[in-house]
Structure 1
Amino acid sequence: MSRKTNFLLFTTSFIDGLTAGFLLSPQKGTENRAWLAKNAEKAGRWATLEHYLAKQKGTSRLDRLRKSIQRRIHQNIPNLYEATETIPLSKKM
């Protein structure tokens, strides 16, 4: 199965489980809705924070990769100015 299919199955199963839990819970509907509203707000803040942290981590990793590639290129490709500075360019030989 692909990652998209696995994610879709997981998400659908999770939502189905939540729905069944709310329908079969001994609490009243108003209590369930109040609890859900309170915890949905917390979950939203948590998701926002995790998104921000993941973005920062990804940016940091990408920057490290970019610097590593540049460093390896500079190690393997000579600086042409330094390589040719001892070559005499005048017509006197």
Structure 2
Amino acid sequence: MKPTTTQKLLTAVVVLQGMLLAGQWLGSSPAMAAKSGELNLPDPGARQLQMIEELKALNGKVDKLHAALTSGQLRVKVEKDEK
């Protein structure tokens, strides 16, 4: 008896599902890694403190830019394009 396309497709699906099941059974899932402490997640508190420091530095740069713009000593030179 010659296998049909449908039978071949179903066989492939069953084989792939078996491989997935074996991978889940034998491999380590993220839930198992979290239980054993293997995940390297960044510390949210430290990350927020770093973001605050970066925002403070950015505010300092914006303050300097604002002071330069409002001082009245800024000059703009415009050149005509030869086209």
TM superposition score category, shorter chain reference: 0.3 to 0.5
Higher share in helix: 1
Q: Under a length normalisation based on structure 2, what TM-score does the superposition of the two structures give?
A: 0.37
Task: Indicate the structure whose relative CO is greater, using CA pairs within 8 Å and at least 6 residues apart.
Answer: 1
The structure whose Rg is larger is 2
Q: Under a length normalisation based on structure 1, what TM-score does the superposition of the two structures give?
A: 0.33
